[in-house]
Amino acid sequence: NCHVSPRSLGLRNYWPASILSFVALADLLGRLLCGWVANTRLFRNLQLLTMVVSLLGVVLMLIPSSNNYWAILALSWLYGFFFGCIVAIHVTSIMDIVSLEEFDSGLGLFMLFRSTGGVVGPPLAGFLVDQTGNYSAAFYLSGLCLISSAAFIILNSLNQRSQENIAQAQSSIHSKSKTSFSVIKISEGHLCFNSHWSLHRDCDDIYKKKIGLL
C-alpha cells in the first residue's frame, strides 16, 4: 500500500515507484543497525523488538494523515527502517521467551501465527479498502495489530518477571527454613536460640562468652 496510496493522491507515476527504493534502503539500514544494537547487549532482544514493533505500529497509523509526497516518503522510510529492525531480531527474540530445548517448538508456533497473519491480512485489508473507499482503515488495522502484539509482549514479560520473583522468594524461604538453631537453657523455663541472643540479657552474656568478649 505504500506505493499504491500515493497514486490515490494524484501524484505522478514515478513518485510512488521511487518510494519502494527508499523503503528498501531503509530496510537494509534497519537490519544492519538493529543487528549491531542487539550485539551490544544494551537491551534484551525482546525489549528491542517491543520498541520497534510499537514504533512501526505508530508509523502505519500516521500514514493516512500524510497528504503529500514528502510526508509519505518520510513515513515510508520509517516503515522500511523499523520493518528491517524487526526482521533482524524477531527470531532471536524467541530465546528470551523459551529455553534452548524449546526453541524449535517456539519457532514453529511463531511461524504458524506469522503465516496466518500473512494469509488473512491482505484479503482483510482489501475488504476494508473496498468498503471504505480509501486506505486509511487498512493502515489503522495494521498499526493496531502491531501495537497490540507489543502490548502482549510487555504483559508476558511482566508475568515472567513476577514468576521469577515468586520463585526467588520461595527459594529464600526454603533456605531459611533449613537454618539450624542452637538452644541453650539458662534458667528454668527460659531457653536461648542462636537467632535471638540479644532478646534477653542472660542470652546476650552467653553469646558474648561464646565469641570471646567475656
Give pLDDT tens digits along the chain (214 positions): 444 555 556 566 677 778 888 999 999 999 999 999 999 988 889 899 999 999 999 999 999 888 888 888 899 999 999 999 999 998 888 888 888 888 889 899 989 988 998 899 889 988 998 898 888 899 999 999 999 999 988 888 888 788 888 888 877 776 655 554 444 444 444 444 444 444 444 555 544 455 454 4
Distance CA 214, CA 212 (A): 6
Sign of torsion over alpha carbons 62, 68, 74, 77: positive
Q: Which amino acid is at 128?
A: L
Report the largest interatomic distance among the alpha carbons of the chain, rounded to a whole angstrom: 102
SS3 191: strand
Q: Read off φ and ψ for residue 86, nearest 5 degrees.
A: -65, -45
Q: In sequence order, what E strands does 6-144 have? A: none
CATH code for 5-175?
Answer: 1.20.1250.20
Distance CA 75, CA 59 (A): 6
Q: CB count, 10 Å around CB of 155?
A: 10
pLDDT in tens, 187-205: 444 444 444 444 444 555 5
β-bridge mates for residue 191, sequence order: 185
Sign of torsion over alpha carbons 144, 149, 153, 155: positive
Q: CB count, 10 Å around CB of 41?
A: 8
pLDDT in tens, 103-125: 889 899 989 988 998 899 889 98
Q: For residue 115, give the C-alpha cell.
A: 503465516
Residue extents of the structural domains in the chain: 5-175, 181-214
Q: Read off φ and ψ for residue 179, nearest 5 degrees.
A: -65, 130
pTM for the whole structure: 0.71
